[in-house]
Structure 1
Amino acid sequence: MLQLPLVVTARLDLVLVLVTLLSLWTRLSGLGYPGAVVFDEVYYGQFLSLYMKRTFFIDDSGPPLGHALLALGAYLGGFDGNFVWNRIGAASPVNEVRWFCVAAYPCSLSVWSLRLLPALGGALCVPLGYLLILELRCSHLSALGAALLLLLENSLIVQSRFMLLESLLIFFVLLAFFSYLRFHNAPGRCWSRYGWLLLSGVSCAAAVGVKYTGLFSYLLLLGVASLHSWKLIGDQAQSHMSVCVQCGWKVLCLLVVPVLLYVFWFYVHLSILQRSGPHDQLMSSAFQASLQGGLSRVTRGQPLQVAFGSQVTLRSSAPRPVPCWLHSHKANYPIRYENGRGSSHQQQVTCYAFKDVNNWWIIKDPARQELVVDSPPRLVRHGDIIQLVHGMTSRLLNSHDVAAPMSPHAQEVSGYIDFNVSMATQNLWRLEIYNREAESEEWKTIVSEVRLVHVNTSAVLKLSGLPLPDWGFRQMEVVAEKLLKAHSGSLGWTVEEHRYGTSQEQKEREAELHSPTHIDIDRKISFWSKFTELQWKMLTVKQEESEHKYSSAPLEWIAMETNIAYWLHPSTNAQIHLIGNPVSWGVANLSLLAYQLLAALYLLRRRRGFRDLPDGAWQRFASVGLLCGGGWAVNFLPFLLMERTLFLYHYLPALCYLYLLSPALLEHIHTHLLSRTSRHMLAVCTAAVLLSIFLSYWTFCPLTYGNPELTANQLQALKWRDSWDILYRRR
């Protein structure tokens, strides 16, 4: 029988509610200000517009989940992608005044919705920090201290209030560790705790899916979980079945689920972005042909199998320096190069980075003179000997023992011209399909990746990647090089455009080459092929990076020797900067140093047989160091090895770990190292430091929110370090 009345009892942590509300207020209030593009919003905005138009792109800085989340906010706000993200403002000095040409958002665009999800993620980091400290078995006072440090950190507020990804990354990382510790601390017989483990795995996948730097924290969590599993295996009180079940759940939730979700982010990404875009040429011909528009309009309905007499364009598989096609034209190599070396003076063969009628070649059977496809077509297979005839000049692709112009260790490749000298033609090439599934496999359009091996010398046709001088019109050099010397990535060629030739006469053939035909046949590649190619391109193809005015070195972050000017009002001194709270930044650094010294002292004394702490206290101290100190290390040290443009905001995930470490270390010192009198002094000092942190936060609020406007003298007073770049106008 149902008993009435129904009673629900709930426990509510009012401190947690309070810090959550304060965090939402500091991150969400006035979110639409300024109504202009701010710093890296111009970078993410370009991808956002492409996302809204379902146009394919590559961002080498991170996986697609972050862009998808930003696009979700834009979609909810009704953004259609029609906005030109071309500038945030160019600074130029004019009488001690630096003017920013601001790109304002149109009134029809909901700026609030664009920035909503990053702001929510940043706001929820504060209560997550509170809960995480509690799961580390620290007191509610320590949890409150961690929450206040996160709440009053100006740089975290700034980074959360714009269309940027660091706040989402930090949110998912903190959620992953909180969920895992909640699982680890739950009673062993509580099956509901595996829900927390699953949430931890999902959060790890989301962190890595937002930015690749999330991988650092994910690996740390895997290390922590491995240590716990090793300890579990040695627990004799646990049955074999219990140990296997718990370890199996960890493998499933922390390894299998993140990998599957990571792939799922790409599946959603590729399902949405189905239209040809600005980054198509970075991808293979098969990938391009799977997109709507672009290459697919050119290649739709092409014959699949290459036959003798086929007219083809051959695209190099080399990812660098640029995508290009095998090309020739009516210009010869110079008789002598600038360094005095002689050439064959044959017709130039290059790799050209643009579509051109001179990219067409005809596959010829060496035993026959016809340049048309028979009926039925005689298909070209792996291992066949072929000749390649340049469509517009009828020159045969040739190589011989003459040094290439820019790569003298390799052979020159040319279109053969008979000058009646003792240089016989060597124009036979053996076709090797290196992604074949059978020895007699047919040569297929777009699908087959082939090598062309010179029969006389066994050299392989390849793109050297070096530009030719002016006499070669700055096109890319093509050479023939021995397989053992050549780099495998530059050896491959793919048939991109293809038709069956029907014209034997040169004039008719030239007209045919200028007039491609199409048949309505669709051809697609599998998701796994697209996923592996896209992932490889994201990891290997780097966009050109130039030195940025506000870029910085990792060692400058620790003492906050740098800042970033995010926005300046076009006519007043109102401005926004990425500057941290100097007091809390210093507290974080002191905490890290103090923990390292204290840990070294404890370890030395334990080695000598002294036990300064009970086992439980030592375990808590070690756990705090492993998670917080280790989190700082894995999120900071890798940047010391990176050769890329770095900014202050790259340090924010590492900084958050120090804000978790500080109150936990303070509690440890208060509980285990100080006398009663000293504890009172510590409490007074802690209160003074917290007040200083708040005053520092309040002092820099005008640079955090861009409001109120300050005078030039007030701005100059905020320049606490000479290395900071504070912008102001003198009136």
Structure 2
Amino acid sequence: MWGFLKRPVVVTADINLSLVALTGMGLLSRLWRLTYPRAVVFDEVYYGQYISFYMKQIFFLDDSGPPFGHMVLALGGYLGGFDGNFLWNRIGAEYSSNVPVWSLRLLPALAGALSVPMAYQIVLELHFSHCAAMGAALLMLIENALITQSRLMLLESVLIFFNLLAVLSYLKFFNCQKHSPFSLSWWFWLTLTGVACSCAVGIKYMGVFTYVLVLGVAAVHAWHLLGDQTLSNVCVFCHLLARAVALLVIPVVLYLLFFYVHLILVFRSGPHDQIMSSAFQASLEGGLARITQGQPLEVAFGSQVTLRNVFGKPVPCWLHSHQDTYPMIYENGRGSSHQQQVTCYPFKDVNNWWIVKDPRRHQLVVSSPPRPVRHGDMVQLVHGMTTRSLNTHDVAAPLSPHSQEVSCYIDYNISMPAQNLWRLEIVNRGSDTDVWKTILSEVRFVHVNTSAVLKDGIPM
């Protein structure tokens, strides 16, 4: 029983010195003097802003791609203790002492360095010669553009890393398929393929091309399985199910998880709030939530609201008016009502506030008890700063002659009476309620006299 103690314990290991050498040279070429230059280079000015947002937990949304790549870069800043306090305003700006340049550039550099041995392994998995694999790896090692990208706070090297990892993982999975299907290594490489594909897409949408390539190759191999007479129907079904879960379900779940984690990390109000819905803005700390906290959920007659155009995407705008009036004669010779201008203003402003008035009463304050505004009610919208009512006539709009001009009514004592009654329609009302709710309700104002529709808006 204790015979093994009489003999020495011997461990043998196969070490590919070529692979070790390539990895070492990759690390050396990417990590040596990584902090040089200690200044903002190229798109570091772009990605650095998002890293600062992550460090300060301020909400942002980058329309150029998913958030996973930004989170990878932010991880480097977190590991280096970066507090996010740096003004990313120009290329060439010197980094201040509080910016951990080495940590911020570390993960892209590691990704670039590890891409070299992965290129070597991919060629070997394709059953090419050792010389061919060394040649491919050396090309990756000495390529000047790849070295430069890897040494900066950019996403390209990270994207290339996950693209190569996806291809390498699938090739290893396919080679395992030949001799040990459903083994532990078989499951590992198949699952890693799906994870790598999801990470590639989560960094930049260019990763979709690699994902489609892997899916295409997997589809061809699955087709060959269907024609394999040596496999039972149950076995073929298990093969297809495993591939569907690993290459379709897992990538989709991970992709959605990236956004979930992103929203958990950035929960404070920031400069990108206004491109989101009012309901989302109200969920952020320090933004619209600070205004709506403790406010009633239902809009009552006498309430002061702002109306946001839900069609104003990607830049939202609010129903707005000011003292200026429309010119009596436009440059093209058309006339106007010369009433007070009403516009859709893309910034939050005091002139965006309106009072919801009951046409049957003169008061402009909420009564006690409050009387909620309901679907189908007649209302007047009184501009908060000028106390003039939202109005429209059968007069062509200044920019869209096929539409009616919207204005705030000024009584010039001429034969143009006010037409300022609007019927409220709640577009997304539920079956159980017809009350106008702040943030949640999407409303439409229909002009009583002409049946013209103003716009869809969201009260805030």
What TM-score range do you get, normalising by the shorter chain? over 0.9
Q: Equivalents in 1 of 2:438, 2:378: separation in Å?
A: 18
Where does residue 170 of structure 1 map in the other structure?
A: 160
Residue from 65, 68, 76 that aligns with 2:71: 68
Q: Map of 1:438-453 to 2, 5 A cutoff?
A: 438=431, 440-453=433-446
Give the aligned partner of residue 191 of structure 2: 198
Q: Deviations over 1:285-321 (max 9, x none)?
A: 2222222223222222221111122111112223447
Task: Determine if contact 2:306/2:353 at 8 Å carries over to the other structure.
Answer: yes
Is 1:493 the equivalent of 2:457?
yes
Provide the C-alpha distance between the structure 2 equivalents of 1:114 and 1:181, rounded to a whole number of angstroms: 32
* Contact 1:118–1:161 (Cα < 8 Å) also in 2: yes
Task: State the shift of 1:7 in Å.
Answer: 4.1
Q: C-alpha separation between the residues in 2 aligned to 1:321 and 1:405?
A: 23
Aligned-residue offset at 1:145: 1.5
Amino acid at match of 2:107: L
Equivalent AA in structure 1 for residue 231 of structure 2: Q
Question: 1:340 and 2:333 equivalent?
Answer: yes
1:400–1:146 CA distance, 2 compared to 1 (3 A): same
Write the deviation string for residues 120-164 of structure 1: whole angstroms up to 9, x where unpaired.
Answer: 000111111111112222222221121111111111011101111
- Indicate conservation of the 8 Å contact 2:275/2:314, yes or no: no
Aligned-partner SS, 1:430: strand
How far apart are 1:11 and its partner, in Å?
2.1
Distance 1:258 1:149 in 2: 30
Given candidates 58, 69, 74, the residue that maps to 1:55 is: 58
1:272 aligns with 2:272: no
| Residue deviations 1:598-640 (CA, integer Å, cap 9, x gap) | xxxxxxxxxxxxxxxxxxxxxxxxxxxxxxxxxxxxxxxxxxx
182, 202, 209: which one aligns with 2:172: 182
Mapping of residues 78-89 of structure 1, within 5 Å: 78-89=81-92
C-alpha displacement of 1:458: 2.8
Percent of aligned positions that are identical: 65
Give, in whole Å, the separation in 2 of the partners of 1:181 and 1:217.
13
- The one-letter code sitting in structure 2 at the alignment partner of 1:155 is A
Paired residue secondary structure (1:225): helix
Which residue of 217, 220, 223 corresponds with 2:216? 223
Q: Partners in 2 of 1:297 and 1:85 — Cα distance?
A: 28
Q: Counterpart in 1 of 2:31?
A: 28
Does residue 141 (structure 1) correspond to residue 131 (structure 2)? The answer is: yes
TM-align CA RMSD: 1.9
Does residue 327 (structure 1) correspond to residue 297 (structure 2)? The answer is no
1:15 is the counterpart of 2:8: no
1:533-569 CA-to-partner distances (Å, cap 9, x unmatched) read: xxxxxxxxxxxxxxxxxxxxxxxxxxxxxxxxxxxxx
From 352, 362, 370, give the equivalent of 1:359. Answer: 352
Alignment check: 8 A CA contact 1:401 1:411 kept: yes
Gaps of 5+ in 1: 90-102, 463-491, 497-731
User: Given that residues 382 and 439 in structure 1 are in contact (C-alpha distance below 8 angstroms), is that contact kept between their aligned partners in structure 2?
Assistant: no
Conserved? CA contact 1:382–1:440, under 8 Å: no
User: Aligned partners of 1:166 and 1:3: how far apart in 2?
Assistant: 56
C-alpha spacing 1:49/1:365, structure 2 compared with 1 (3 Å): same
> Which letter maps to 2:458?
T
Q: Report if the CA contact (8 A) 2:86-2:99 is conserved.
A: no
Q: Could you list the per-position Cα deviations for residues 669-728 of structure 1 after superposition, in whole angstroms to 9, with x for gaps in the alignment?
A: xxxxxxxxxxxxxxxxxxxxxxxxxxxxxxxxxxxxxxxxxxxxxxxxxxxxxxxxxxxx
Structure 2 counterpart SS, 1:155: helix
Q: Please list the CA deviations of residues 14-65 of structure 1 after superposition, one character each: whole Å capped at 9, or x if unmatched.
A: 2111111111111111111112211111111111112111111222222111
Taking structure 1 as the reference length, what is the TM-score of the superposition? 0.60
2:255 to 239, 243, 262: 262
Segments of 5+ residues of structure 2 without an aligned counterpart are none
Do 2:394 and 2:405's aligned partners in 1 also have CA atoms closer than 8 Å?
yes
Distance in 2, matches of 1:207 and 1:357, equals 45
Say which is worse superposed, 452-461 or 51-60, in terms of deviation: 452-461
Counterpart of 1:592?
none
CA contact (8 A) 1:36 1:104 kept: yes
Letter in 1 for 2:448: V
C-alpha distance after superposition, 1:81-111 (max 9, x if no partner): 122222224xxxxxxxxxxxxx222345332
Q: What per-residue deviation string (whole Å, max 9, x for no partner) do you get for residues 226-248 of structure 1?
A: 22212212222221111111111
Distance in 1 (alpha carbons) for counterparts of 2:144 and 2:348:
51
456 and 250 in structure 1: CA distance in 2 versus 1, 3 angstrom threshold: farther
Q: Which has the higher contact order (CA 8 A, sep 6+)?
A: 1
Question: In the alignment, what sits opposite 1:128?
Answer: 118
Distance in 2 separating the partners of 1:380 and 1:236 = 71
Report the Cα offset of residue 376 of structure 1: 2.9
The aligned amino acid for 1:216 is: F
Within 2, Cα distance between the matches of 1:214 and 1:181?
18
Q: SS where residue 171 of structure 1 aligns? A: helix
Quick check: 1:110 aligned with 2:100?
A: yes
Structure 1 415/71 Cα, relative in aligned 2: closer, same or farther at 3 Å?
same
- In structure 1, what residue type is equivalent to 2:128? C
2:228 to 221, 224, 235: 235
Q: Matched residues in 2 for 1:125 and 1:117: separation?
A: 12
Q: Which amino acid aligns with 1:333?
A: Y
Q: How many residues get paired?
A: 454
Range with bigger deviation, 11-20 or 155-164: 11-20
Is it true that 1:44 corresponds to 2:37 in the alignment?
no
Letter in 2 for 1:446: I
1:207 maps onto 2:200 in alignment:
yes
- Residue of structure 1 in register with 2:392 after alignment: 399
Q: Which residue in the other structure is 1:651 paired with?
A: none
Paired residue type of 1:189 = P
Question: For 1:571-598, what per-residue CA distance to the aligned partner results, in whole angstroms no more than 9, with x for missing partners?
Answer: xxxxxxxxxxxxxxxxxxxxxxxxxxxx
Picking from 149, 153, 175, the partner of 1:159 is: 149
Q: For each residue in 1:183-241, what CA deviation from the matched residue of structure 2 results, as whole angstroms up to 9, or x when unmatched? A: 11213534210111111111111111111211121122112212221221222222111
Opposite residue 150 of structure 2, the aligned amino acid is: S
Letter in 2 for 1:203: A
AA matched with 1:19: L
Change (3 A) 1:358 1:224: same
Q: Supply the AA of the counterpart residue of 2:19.
A: L
2-side partners of 1:311 and 1:135: how far apart?
68
Give the distance between the partners of 1:234 and 1:199, measured in 2 at CA: 26
2:449 aligned residue? 456
CA distance in 2, matches of 1:459, 1:235: 67
Aligned to 1:709: none
1:282 matched residue in structure 2: 275
SS of residue in 1 equivalent to 2:235: helix
SS in 2 for 1:342: coil
**Aligned counterparts of 2:39 and 2:392: Cα–Cα separation in 1:** 58
One-letter identity of the residue aligned with 1:37: V
Matches for 1:594-613 after TM superposition, within 5 Å: none
Paired residue for 1:428, among 397, 421, 434?
Answer: 421
| SS state at 1:436 partner | coil
Pairwise mapping of residues 539-578 of structure 1 onto structure 2 (< 5 A)? none
After TM superposition, give the deviation of residue 429 of structure 1 in Å.
Answer: 2.0
Q: Match of 2:71, SS?
A: helix
